[in-house]
Chains A and B, each alone.
Chain A
Amino acid sequence: MLKVLGLFLLLVVPPLAWLNFGFKPAPDRRPDTLVYATSSKIITLDPQKTQSLNDGRIISSMLEPLVRFDPGRLAADPGDPAALIPGAAEALPTLGEDGRTYTFRIRPDAKWSNGDAVTAHDFDRAWMRGMFPDMVGPYSDKLLIIEGGDAFFAWRGNVLKLLNAQTPAAELEAARQALPEADRHWKPGDGQAAFERSIERYDELVRVDTPDDHTLIVRLKSVTPYFPELVSFVTFAPLHEASAMDALSVDPDSGFVTMDTTYFQRPDRYMANGAYTLDLWEFGQRLELVANPNYRLHSERRNQRIVMLVIEDEGVALLKFNRGEVDWCLSVAASSSLASELVAKRPLEAQLITAVATYYYSLNCSPMVGGRPNPVADVRVRRALSMAIDRDELVRSVTRLYQPVADSFVPEGQVPGYTPPDGQYHRYDPDAARALLAEAGYGPNNPLRFELVYNTNGGHETPAQAIVQMWRDKLGATVTTSAYEWGEFTEVRRGKRYEVARNGWFGDYRDPSTFLELFRSDGTLNVTGYADTEFDRLLDEAGASLDPERRAELYAQAETRMLDAAPMIPLWHYFDLHLVHNTRVTGLNLNPWNALALHEVAVTLP
């Protein structure tokens, strides 16, 4: 046996020792450093490809968009119109007479971490990447609101079909017909030439103009009053043009342009125009940012280094927080069973921040589900279900976090100039609910029966069971429940194979449309089958209006219509839980829109 053990050690130990056993020693804690913990890994640091808030925290600390939010103002009033402030641009954009052309002036003194000047081209080329079908990311639809974006996206898509030898003949012919005469000659192997032509084509079609190095003129395909706020998204962040374009290469087989992904991993390649540059990224473990001395606010910064630790287990995260190894901890979710106790016992450290988000149940409005008549297709049943839920009781004794209860879809006080309507069918009124249900033909002799589906993990089961009990007690309904793993759950919901389904929505930008567009009849996100042409018309009219008051009024009308038809049951607005060592960390300014300015955060070690 000793021989075997010896052999085993001989085979295993030397290669492992050569790899240092995979150890990554933690550097000593330095002063002037903010250490924060999150529960999820960085997915990508490519600004045009990310879709996660967690990635966004790091990216927006490295890449400064044209405009950004002031976290201090948002913390004081999330609906403050003045919270949007200039970033890489020297002022907020000016709007042209057509109502859809924005002009940004970039600060003449803005610099990249390697000393190069930040120019309008850095933005233009980064946005261009996000509009190439072969490089698009999940949020590219936001870039495609620029005039000509769709045309370029379609043009390049067709060229790619011509470049790919595997394209079926019928598709190939359709693609060829859709292209202008001059572009029908592309064939497999022409990838490089087609890429160069695509850049020209982008410049011809897409209305992002750079008359000089510091001016960026953007024309949108339609009026979008919240565009300046949208530009604060990381999707609109710049990339250092020379190095980023250098990292692009063309796949000779498919003609696809791909970016060398090590660009985003290597501190020497990934240039920053924001407060920090990348210093170290150990995948799935830790990421460190270090002060960018070329940042315009460098002299005002209050820390030199940011350390992000990935800690998935909330127990480990809490131990590390308690020991002071972590200053700010995002690893314990508000839905965790630890949350209510932490909030009760350590109110100064455990901070609940209202998220711009609504927890709700989707009600399927389709007449049939799975070949059987769908009882919740009846609007009276849908209203009754909502009115039978005692939301105050849910947040008091089920979630135990006292979230703000919801009677509308858009959360109140978060969107400048918008007051959501009070949903008259979304307040607790069990008598009226019973009456409605009786009117719909349900009662003791014909009890209402349906199924509620929700996803596993995330603490959805307890509220679901409490709500099922309310429906049974108040309405005599027989409700079965099914839980699905996330991937399958989204498919069940998207395929409308449910009667009542848990749902939730986080607003992206400060405009009612970020919520209400969800219920557009043909919307890809509308999983309820709710279809109302008047609702769609109100959205269209509001969307095209430049008068803020008129806009708000039209959106409120639309929301009222939707709430009255009740394709959803609003329940409460989410909380985010932050654990902050309040005695050492100042300037974090946590706010509902998750805007951050990490260079403003000061950490005083005890």
Chain B
Amino acid sequence: MLTLIARRLIQLPIILALVFSATFTLAWVLPGDPFRGADERQVDPAIEAAMRAQYNLDSPWSFLRSYTKELFTEADLGPSLKYRDRKVADILGEALPVSATLGAAAIGVALLIGTVAGVVGALKPGTALEAGSLGVALIGVSLPSFVTGTLLLAFAGVLATHAPAFALPIGGWTGPSAVLLPAIALGLTPAAYIARLLRLGLADLMHSDFVRTARAKGVSPNRALFGHALKVAYLPVLSFLGPAAASAMTGSFVIEQVFNIPGLGEHFVNAVLNKDQTLLLGIVLTYSTILVLFNLVVDVAYGWLDPRIELG
């Protein structure tokens, strides 16, 4: 176990270096200009050159030199090139907790809906309940989140007009009540995957030897399911959850846009469109670190749940 953790932690800087090189190159050749406004205006060439020099953008080498120097000596990700009053670290510091909260809530929603739908589907094959379970999976996989998001937002609008007592905030990130709708919209897709993984897994497992043995020893069907089969059926879900949680917690552009949530996803997309190289590098490095760490947590949890799996 410790070997695994140590090896992954040693891999981390190598992975980050590779990701950094690729992102740096792509960001440099990306079309666009962080200093240009949204309209047709162009900056006077002499002034534009001076502005580029202010941020060491006159050549890739000088940018690389100053960026890595600040990164290693001061652990500073530099100022955003577009939002020049802001440091990248401050933008990440404000946006990451928002996205992480929303992502964690969405994973919670996904587990809840996914488990219920998966278990019901596996236990009651050929009934209306199974059809319902399949329906949830189908909707979750096929309806894009901007459609569910917009529908939920319209629902909030209706609530606010017709049942003000139960009104939910329309967009924004003002408190716990603002989390519910975007978490559902964001959690529905992973919920569908979880339901499908569980349903398939459970359908097999309920006929497997160890469950039959448990049943023969007098264990009730429910106990056999929840005490024995579900534990094993969750293993594939777990390996899905690592990357899914990392991706949900680092922001969803669409959901953040629809619900007006100041998270990381929106900064990510805008950084590309604005060619905001420092912000883009900062986000990609953060995202990669989180992804590697979550996969590590999943691997560790795997060994913990299923001692048959050798770690190291």
A binds B: yes
Interface residues of A (CB under 8 A from B): 1, 3-5, 7-8, 11-13, 16, 19-26, 40-46, 49, 51-52, 133-138, 140-141, 144, 153, 157, 160, 166, 256, 258, 261-262, 264-265, 282-285, 310-313, 315-316, 319-320, 323, 325, 485-488, 490-491, 494, 503-506, 524-525
* A503→B40 contact, CB < 8 A: yes
Q: What is the bound-complex CA distance between A94 and B54, given in angstroms?
A: 37
Check B196 for interface membership: any CB of A closer than 8 A.
no
Q: Encode B247-267 as 1/0 by CB contact (under 8 A) with A.
A: 001000000011110110011
A44: chain B residues at CB < 8 Å are 83-85
A312: chain B residues at CB < 8 Å are 257, 260, 266
* A525→B54 contact, CB < 8 A: no
Q: Could you tell me the distance in whole angstroms from the C-beta of A331 to the nearest C-beta in chain B?
A: 10
Check B3 for interface membership: any CB of A closer than 8 A.
no
* B174→A24 contact, CB < 8 A: yes
Q: Could you tell me the distance in whole angstroms from the C-beta of B152 to the nearest C-beta in chain A?
A: 12
Number of A-B residue pairs, CB cutoff 8 Å, is 198
Q: Could you tell me the distance in whole angstroms from the C-beta of B78 to the nearest C-beta in chain A?
A: 11
Q: Could you tell me the distance in whole angstroms from the C-beta of A128 to the nearest C-beta in chain B?
A: 15
* B160→A323 contact, CB < 8 A: yes
Given A19-B97, A153-B46; A316-B259 close (CB under 8 Å) = yes
* B31→A485 contact, CB < 8 A: yes
Supply 4 further A-B pairs (C-beta < 8 A) apart from A138-B47, A285-B262, A506-B40.
A23-B176, A135-B54, A157-B50, A320-B171
Check B312 for interface membership: any CB of A closer than 8 A.
no
Q: What is the bound-complex CA distance between A135 and B47, given in angstroms?
A: 10
A-B pairs with beta carbons under 8 Å apart, 11 shown: A4-B304, A5-B111, A16-B101, A19-B97, A42-B83, A51-B41, A140-B47, A283-B90, A285-B173, A313-B260, A487-B273
B266: chain A residues at CB < 8 Å are 284, 312
* B47→A22 contact, CB < 8 A: no
Closest B residue to A263 using CB positions: B85
Q: What is the bound-complex CA distance between A542 and B183, given in angstroms?
A: 62
**Which of the listed residues A4, A20, A312, A505 has the most CB atoms from chain B within 10 Å of its own CB?**
A4
Query: Which 7 pairs from chain A and chain B are nearest by CB?
Result: A487-B32, A22-B98, A22-B97, A133-B50, A141-B44, A488-B31, A19-B97
A49: chain B residues at CB < 8 Å are 84
User: Which of A16, A24, A45 makes the CB contact (< 8 A) with B85?
Assistant: A45
Q: How large is the interface on B (under 10, 10 to 19, 20 to 34, 35 or more residues)?
A: 35 or more
* A487→B31 contact, CB < 8 A: yes
Q: Encode B45-81 as 1/0 by CB contact (under 8 A) with A.
A: 1111011011000000010010000000000000100
B87: chain A residues at CB < 8 Å are 261
* B36→A490 contact, CB < 8 A: yes
* B175→A25 contact, CB < 8 A: yes
* A486→B273 contact, CB < 8 A: yes
B124: chain A residues at CB < 8 Å are none
Check B38 for interface membership: any CB of A closer than 8 A.
yes
Check B153 for interface membership: any CB of A closer than 8 A.
yes
Q: What is the bound-complex CA distance between A485 and B33, given in angstroms?
A: 12
A261: chain B residues at CB < 8 Å are 79, 84-87
Q: What is the bound-complex CA distance between A461 and B33, given in angstroms?
A: 23
Q: Could you tell me the distance in whole angstroms from the C-beta of A516 to the nearest C-beta in chain B?
A: 15
User: B7-15, B127-135, B217-225, B230-238: which lies at the A interface?
Assistant: B230-238
* A487→B33 contact, CB < 8 A: yes
Q: What is the bound-complex CA distance between A12 and B250, given in angstroms?
A: 13
* A137→B51 contact, CB < 8 A: yes
Check B42 for interface membership: any CB of A closer than 8 A.
yes
Q: What is the bound-complex CA distance between A565 and B46, given in angstroms?
A: 30
Q: What is the bound-complex CA distance between A268 and B178, given in angstroms?
A: 31
Q: Could you tell me the distance in whole angstroms from the C-beta of B110 to the nearest C-beta in chain A?
A: 12
Given A21-B98, A487-B275; A525-B83 close (CB under 8 Å) = no
B48: chain A residues at CB < 8 Å are 138
* B38→A323 contact, CB < 8 A: no
A19: chain B residues at CB < 8 Å are 97
Given A51-B41, A264-B85; A16-B47 close (CB under 8 Å) = no
Q: Could you tell me the distance in whole angstroms from the C-beta of B224 to the nearest C-beta in chain A?
A: 16
